[in-house]
Structure 1
Amino acid sequence: MPTLIAVAHGTRSPAGQAQIRDLVARVAARRPGLDVRLAYVDVQEPKVAEVVAAVPDAVVVPLLLSAGYHVRVDIAEAVAGTGIPVTRPLGPDDVLLDSLLKHLPPADAVVLAAAGSSDPAWRADVESVARLLSEKLEMPTVGHHLPRPPRVGGGDGTPPDRGRAGLSTGIGDDFRHVRDADRPVDAGSTARGGARVGAGFVSDHGRQAGPSAHGGQRVGASLGGDRGGQAGPSAGRGGRVGSVPGCSNNVRVAYVSGPGERVPDVVADLRRAGARRVAVAAYFLADGLFYRRLHQAGADAVTAPLCLDPAVTDLVLSRYEQAALTTTRRRL
């Protein structure tokens, strides 16, 4: 059985690092006996080329949301000449679209927010998601009020910060609602240097996830599983979207960086056009600097990082199994 090499972008956010490790641990837990490794294209170690060199029989699954530069260049160069197949990235995909839909609250207008890139293929993928999102959202209600989120404290048990606007975010592998979206998400420890993630997996304060290892992070199947956490009260599938002048199908695309409109500018523009409730559909896999900026954009709600949805576990395995089956048939 080929090794599954899950390749993430990489982040300096301890919460984002923990979320990606948890996603990969859930994948390993679903397939006992499957060797699952974690590698990165940027920021974190080990890099994908190092892991590919250590595991000759493998399938690479990019934990990325579009077929941009990292897929076409970084990962392609890492596997060049090895015969190791690379699957499609996780996005765009109906699984991710459904996740956005079911966690969007009712709103007058929706902003699909992405990191940003000058890569035309990457931008085309994001725009295609926006088109599909606008097609699937229900449109007839104007000014539908967001439900009030429950009062939930931080991940460390601290009480909620009174006086802040209610914003939707995610901690762990379920979706919760917190009132202070700027509070750092304390979701686990920082893995460094290609740590093996096994029984020694601990949380908080930058401790190692396990002994140092070369050739990728080996993920123990005993770690984690899909607890099936459901969205809070504001997470009804397909939140209704009202009609706002100047907003095509009421879904606008905006970016945190790179070319294109910025998220705060689009939110402000929608409010000037008459939107009382603006929701941000976050096209981000995990927590990080760019994701957290969405909570400062002036919207009423921001969906949680996509990797927190248990359905993404199945998406990763689906990508792997399709490629592994194709590779086995070719060998026969």
Structure 2
Amino acid sequence: MLVLAVHGSPAPGAGRTTARLVQGLDRPTLVGHLDVQRPSLADVLARHPGAVVVPLLLGEGYHRRVDIPAIARRFHCTVTAGLAGEPAVARAVHERLLEAGGPGDAIVVAGAGSTWPGGVDGTRAVTRELSRAHPNLPVVDAYCSAAHPSVPDRVAQLRAAGFRRITIATHLLAPGRFTRVLEETGGVHAVSAPIADHPLIARLVLNRYESVRPEVLAA
């Protein structure tokens, strides 16, 4: 059984976005939440011991390194790698940016943020990939919480440098508190949509699952 471990959000759009991802997987999949929503990941795994857990997370912070593995061990489940740093994530972010109207004259790659060592490496990886795609534009990272610089600070820096068509490339999975922060940021030309329901993310999740499934079946 494939179980997606997601953060969870009270925003109605979050559940709908995750549901579209599950539909794109085209195989039996359950969703367990780490916060806010139900069912919890622990509840799902208690009913499906031995499942394969794919963390639907873009960073390598507390949830990915501590929380999810601890819950999975209780129910003899296998946890795959997360999604951070994968080229498919950068491509999905880039395509969403193009759908939002293109890069403008400067790009801010906006991630959730983390205080954990390496917790923002995924956002930095996307920033590097978008810099390669747009070598003549400034492409910089920024964060919604727990890391610096903040998104408003980055936008203010770029505007002070004379840029006026600043676009935010959203390195987030689903609508929620952080996407609202991005949409309310002043002085930007466009904000791209989150990426959980992008087909590239579905393909990456399936690849994660298939990478450990032979080991699970042989156990």
- Greater mean deviation of Cα atoms: 282-291 or 310-319: 310-319
Over the matched positions of the two proteins, sequence identity in percent amounts to 38
Aligned length: 214
Could you tell me which residue of structure 2 aligns to residue 102 of structure 1? 95
Mapped partners of 1:259, 1:97: distance in 2: 20
Task: Give the Å deviation of 1:257.
Answer: 1.4
1:244-293 deviation per Cα after TM superposition (whole angstroms, max 9, x unaligned): xxxxxx11111111231221121121011021211111010000011111
Mapped partners of 1:82, 1:19: distance in 2: 27
Map residues 140-179 of structure 1 onto 2, 5 A cutoff: none
1:74-121 deviation per Cα after TM superposition (whole angstroms, max 9, x unaligned): 111101254321111122211110112223213211101112221122
Could you tell me which residue of structure 2 aligns to residue 52 of structure 1? 45
Q: Establish whether residue 7 from structure 1 lines up as the match of residue 14 from structure 2.
A: no
Mapped partners of 2:75, 2:184: distance in 1: 44
Task: Give the Å deviation of 1:304.
Answer: 0.7
Could you tell me which residue of structure 1 aligns to residue 208 of structure 2? 319
Which of the two has greater helix per residue? 2
Mapped partners of 1:50, 1:112: distance in 2: 34
Contact 2:2 2:54 in 1 (8 A): yes
Q: Establish whether residue 128 from structure 1 lines up as the match of residue 125 from structure 2.
A: yes
Contact 1:68 1:121 in 2 (8 A): yes
- Aligned-CA RMSD value: 1.6
1:299-328 deviation per Cα after TM superposition (whole angstroms, max 9, x unaligned): 111111101312211111111111112333
Map residues 151-300 of structure 1 onto 2, 5 A cutoff: 241=137, 250-298=138-186, 299-300=188-189
- Judged with a 3 Å threshold, the aligned counterparts in structure 2 of structure 1 residues 279 and 57 are, in CA distance, closer, same or farther, namely same
Mapped partners of 1:106, 1:51: distance in 2: 40
For normalisation by structure 1, the TM-score amounts to: 0.61
Aligned to 1:122, what secondary structure does the other structure show? coil
Contact 1:254 1:263 in 2 (8 A): yes
Could you tell me which amino acid in structure 1 is paired with residue 19 of structure 2? R
Contact 1:67 1:88 in 2 (8 A): no
Could you tell me which amino acid in structure 2 is paired with residue 18 of structure 1? R
Could you tell me which residue of structure 2 aligns to residue 89 of structure 1? 82
Aligned to 2:35, what secondary structure does the other structure show? coil
Mark the structure with the bigger radius of gyration: 1
Could you tell me which residue of structure 1 aligns to residue 17 of structure 2? 19
For normalisation by structure 2, the TM-score amounts to: 0.91
Contact 2:59 2:83 in 1 (8 A): yes
- Greater mean deviation of Cα atoms: 47-56 or 7-16: 47-56
Mapped partners of 2:33, 2:133: distance in 1: 33
Once superposed, which parts of structure 1, at least 4 consecutive aligned residues long, lie more than 4 Å away?
none
- Judged with a 3 Å threshold, the aligned counterparts in structure 2 of structure 1 residues 308 and 81 are, in CA distance, closer, same or farther, namely closer
Task: Give the Å deviation of 1:38.
Answer: 0.7
The one of 188, 193, 197 equivalent to 1:308 is 197
